[in-house]
Amino acid sequence: MEARVYKNFIGGEFVESSTGKTFERRNPADTREVVGVFQDSGADDVHAAVAAAKAAYPAWSQVPAPRRGEILLKAAEIIQSRKDRYSQDLTREMGKPLFEAGGDIVEAIGMAQYAGSEGRRMHGVTTPSELPNKFQMSIRQPIGVVGLITPWNFPMAIASWKMLPAIVCGNTVVIKPGEDASISTYNLVECLVEAGLPPGVVNIVTGYGPGAGQPLVEHPDVPVISFTGSTDTGRLVYELGARQIKRVSLEMGGKNPLIVMPDADLDLVMEGVVWAAFGTTGQRCTATSRLIVHKDVAGPLVERIVARAQSLRVGDGLQAETEMGPLVNEKQMKRVLGYIELGQQEGATMRCGGGRLTEGALANGHFIQPTVFTGVRPSMRIAREEIFGPVLSVIEVGSLDEAIAVANDVAYGLSASIYTRDINAAMRAMLALQAGIVYINAPTIGAEIHLPFGGVKATGNGHREAGPTMMDVFSEWKSVYIDYSGSLQRAQIDL
Ligand code: NAD
């Protein structure tokens, strides 16, 4: 079957890139299959998309917020009705197994419901005044054209986290999806358009980071940038945005620790670790990549994890029995294999995995074995750098204090977890772990959209997606003072 050619979506029309260039995306489980052909866009395409979004902004920002929300609520139903098809598209484009792809779609449905209902809230604050006959309140207002740059690992969920709150707040949007998984963004936008979103409110420009992402960050008519991706790219986006005093929201890398105390239920830990370290082939920003385990239980726990890791069914995510899919592309596969090599050079013990899988049906995909290293010291690079693959580093410690110190001793701070039945230990860890998200007796993955999502240190810059905080990224506060005393009342003076 001939692969579909996806054109840029600008002002409600599908248009070819002005560069005249396209690029193919191939199925990472079988690279003989082209899943889509996309525009390799440049600055002119971004400028056209921003112009369309700017033109749509005055009318859209005037649509009452509850009406804007209704479109999202309707879109939620449309996405739900196409969940199976969209899951297949998502698995084909980035590799995660179908059951996980379904979770990605469900997250977008949840966000459409959550952001849609926000159209009827959008709460501000009212406070009493220090002065008589004076009323005061703060209200949210839309900002303008919002630029969104997304990665490939949660192609529908992350696009929805950014796009849906942005438009319910009354902004218009230009999105540059991750080049390895753009189809899911088209699927999401297709539902919004069918639900009644006017032309120009959402525009899609595909392409690579420097060619299509950077002109969006640099465009003077785009006052807000929301970016999710690696810390290196995020740092550049932040620098470029700062030159124009833009609001830049960054969600970046992680090196997420899971602490295990001696009183933990080891079978429960094993299940959690295997899911969080090897789910999505380790390509989650919240993946468990460091297992920080008390030495008293390290032996039996590692045995359980290794046994389960070795039995994981690795394969094409479209096959029902598959538990772990391929890595997203060849570059990522080489990078992960490079880290596995490095771990051995650094003196860690490779307890399982370590290699590429090429037998039979796996021959044309980017498959590698789930890999576990023991004897890892906190100073090793495999314990400090984001690998973004199915590689788990096991670090042994002797106390809760040491576990927390090791957990915090990295550049990142997205998600962290502790398994213990001791409420005191759990509470201490909850407060002391340097992370935006903490789990108790659950692994480092599994965020829900109703709570703020994001991280500290090199993971984020203080903004939070999802939860009520999502509205702060995409709206501007305005404080309003109404003096009905008929006389000049000087604040702080005429008390
Ligand atoms: P990436 O940084 O390579 O790319 C992210 C996006 O930025 C892509 O759309 C890319 O085209 C674009 N980009 C690249 N160079 C750019 C430039 N110069 N200007 C503007 N845009 C540019 O990241 P990736 O490989 O797509 O995703 C993996 C990374 O994302 C990992 O580090 C992971 O931890 C992180 N991530 C973080 C979260 C989170 O919420 N914290 C969620 C998912 C992924």
Residue keyed to tokens 């392409």: 207
Q: Cα-Cα-Cα-Cα dihedral of 193, 197, 202, 203, to 10°?
A: 50
Regarding the beta carbon of 152 and ligand 1, being less than 6 Å apart is answered yes
Kindly report the protein residue whose alpha carbon is nearest to atom 11 of ligand 1: 209
pTM given for the model? 0.97
Kindly report the protein residue whose alpha carbon is nearest to atom 16 of ligand 1: 209
Mean pLDDT (the chain) is 98
Report DSSP state, residue 324: B
Chain centroid to CA 36: 22
Cβ atoms of 268 and 419 within 8 Å: the answer is yes
Cβ atoms of 392 and 372 within 8 Å: the answer is yes
Regarding the beta carbon of 228 and ligand 1, being less than 6 Å apart is answered yes
Regarding the beta carbon of 212 and ligand 1, being less than 6 Å apart is answered no
CATH 3.40.605.10: does it fit domain 5-252+460-479? yes
Degrees, nearest 5: CA angle 51-56-57: 100
Regarding the beta carbon of 28 and ligand 1, being less than 6 Å apart is answered no
Ligand 1 center–CA 468 separation, angstroms: 24
CATH for the stretch 256-440:
3.40.309.10
* Rounded Cα–Cα distance for residues 323 and 346 (Å): 30
What is the per-residue pLDDT across 149-174, written as a single tens digit (0 to 9) for each? 999 999 999 999 999 999 999 999 99
What 3-state class would DSSP assign to 146? strand
Regarding the beta carbon of 206 and ligand 1, being less than 6 Å apart is answered no
The radius of gyration of the chain's CA atoms, rounded to the nearest angstrom, is 24
Kindly report the protein residue whose alpha carbon is nearest to atom 32 of ligand 1: 230
Cβ atoms of 178 and 154 within 8 Å: the answer is no
* Residue tagged active-site, from 251, 323, 386, 396: 251
* Rounded Cα–Cα distance for residues 229 and 371 (Å): 24
Instruction: Locate the domains of the chain by residue range.
Output: 5-252+460-479, 256-440
Q: Looking at residue 495, what is its pLDDT?
A: 85
The confidence band for 2, taking pLDDT boundaries of 50, 70 and 90, is confident
Residue keyed to tokens 């979004």: 53
Ligand 1 center–CA 214 separation, angstroms: 12
What is the per-residue pLDDT across 199-240, written as a single tens digit (0 to 9) for each? 999 999 999 999 999 999 999 999 999 999 999 999 999 999
